[in-house]
Amino acid sequence: MYEKDGQRYFVVDSHVHYWDGRPSNQANRYGEGFINCFYDYHRNLSPESELWSLQDFWQQSEERVLHDLFEVGYVDKAIFQPTYLTDFFVDGFNTTEQDGALAEKYPDRFIVNGSFDPRDGEAGLDRLEALAQRWNLRGVKLYTAEWKGDSKGWKLSDPWSYRYLERCQELGIRNIHVHKGPTIYPLNRDAFDVADVDDVASAFPGLRFIVEHVGLPRLEDFCWIATQEPNVYGGLAVALPFIHSRPRYFAQIIGELLYWLDENRITFASDYAIWTPRWLVERFVDFQIPEDMTEYPPLTTEVKKKILGLNAARLYDIEVPPELDAAPAPDGAVGSSPKVPA
């Protein structure tokens, strides 16, 4: 928990990893290129005081994860988001099983999400059900640009994807996290396009689609979709570090999200271990939208509390100390969109 100026902030880091990017786990040059691309994001968007060596970046020990997130990072609860990438990494880059092994040791600290790939067909449906039973899944993380053999991506609107989303509904998995953000070598930029979110959000109103990285660099497309679809949320992973390197750009991002979505559908995420939560939490609490950017709503203390933890806590039924909680927003219908004509 973070405290400053008499205010207490319950923090849910809704996008963390426990990955293995070591050379010994890299299956080919694509695995090496993928982790190096992650490291470039780390180097280019981090304060100098927060930079790691590449060797530190390849894999973090259990002790370091706990230290970075909970001992110094202010995090009250962290949500693992798997990224399998089995075409690039021998044992997978960051699997549910890897995450779950740590979460089982610290169940009061972590929530484990699963994943699915509709290209796995019927066998994948069985595997999703097994994952749900094993880890009591409340969410999945989807990577539509992941390579599988000759295929270099898939869409949420594909027929088999519909089968999997239907199974998620049956299993009680309501939180569908989707990577829709900057490209990562060697994945294809177009496979992260946000357009397919519009289709499935309308088709599955009982599911919540948390668009990780808020669609960057397609922020405008994402906002126009989210303002029409009340079950679409924005995750701030990757967007938040611009608070250091390009603060006016971050002001534009958070301002657009507040204008179109409102404060109840935005979630904090460090994207650990690309970045660590401590400096992101500290700078976000201190951040204000510049006075000359008058078209945007104010970023108040109460709004910051929702974004830093209360919104994700509501999605995952995380218990929040009563004195820190806020009145819950209606599930799946949070606010209106008066700026867009019906």
CATH number, domain at 317?
A: 3.20.20.140
* Residue 333 within a domain: no
Strand-pair partners of 212: 179, 235
Residue type, 127: R
Confidence class for position 332, pLDDT limits 50, 70, 90: low
Residue 74: domain span: 9-324
How many Å apart are CA 177 and CA 143, to the nearest integer? 9
* Residue 338 within a domain: no
Tokens, residue 153: 């991506």
- The pLDDT value recorded for residue 326 is 66
Confidence class for position 337, pLDDT limits 50, 70, 90: very low
Residue type, 166: E
Average pLDDT over residues 31-41: 97
| Candidate from 20-24, 285-289, 330-334 with smallest mean pLDDT | 330-334
Average pLDDT over residues 243-266: 96
Q: Is the per-residue pLDDT at 331 higher than 90?
A: no
Confidence class for position 334, pLDDT limits 50, 70, 90: very low
Measure Cα distances from 161 to 70, 85, 142, 232, 237 in Å: 36, 18, 11, 17, 24
* Residue 336 within a domain: no
Give the angle subtended at the CA of 183 by the CAs of 21 and 316, to the nearest 5°: 75
* Residue 64 within a domain: yes
Confidence class for position 189, pLDDT limits 50, 70, 90: confident
Omega cis (within 30) before 186:
yes
Measure Cα distances from 105 to 32, 140, 243 in Å: 30, 21, 33
The per-residue pLDDT of the chain, averaged, comes to 94
What share of the chain has pLDDT > 90, as a percent? Answer: 92
Q: Is the per-residue pLDDT at 278 higher than 50?
A: yes
Residues contacting 254, CB < 8 A, separation 6+: 236, 239, 266, 287, 289, 296, 299
* Residue 99 within a domain: yes
Average pLDDT over residues 34-39: 97
201-217 residue pLDDT tens:
999 999 999 999 999 99
Q: Is the per-residue pLDDT at 10 higher than 80?
A: yes
* Residue 112 within a domain: yes
Query: Taking the mean position of all CA atoms in its chain, how far away is CA 205?
Result: 20
Residue type, 237: A
Q: Which helix (H) or strand (E) holds 211?
A: strand 208-212
Confidence class for position 324, pLDDT limits 50, 70, 90: confident
What share of the chain has pLDDT > 70, as a percent? Answer: 95
* Residue 306 within a domain: yes
How many Å apart are CA 312 and CA 315, to the nearest integer? 5
* Residue 160 within a domain: yes
Q: Is the per-residue pLDDT at 37 higher than 70?
A: yes
- SS3 (DSSP) at 176: strand
Q: Say if residue 168 is exposed, middle or buried (CB neighbours under 10 Å; 0-12, 13-18, 19+).
A: buried
Total domains in the fold of the chain: 1
Q: Is the per-residue pLDDT at 333 higher than 70?
A: no
Please, what sign has the CA dihedral across residues 243, 250, 10, 208?
negative
Residue type, 282: E
How many Å apart are CA 179 and CA 155, to the nearest integer? 12
- 3-state SS, 82-145, equals CECCCCCECCCCECHHHHHHHHHHCCCCEEECECCCHHHHHHHHHHHHHHHHHHCCCEEEECCC
- The pLDDT value recorded for residue 113 is 98
Average pLDDT over residues 77-102: 97
Buried b / exposed e over 113-139, threshold 16 CB at 10 Å, is bbbbbbeeeeebbeebeebbeebebbb
- The pLDDT value recorded for residue 336 is 35
Enter the pTM of the model.
Answer: 0.93
116-142 residue pLDDT tens:
999 999 999 999 999 999 999 999 999
Do strands 266-267 and 232-235 pair parallel, antiparallel, or not at all (unpaired)?
parallel
What is the Cα Rg of the chain in Å?
19
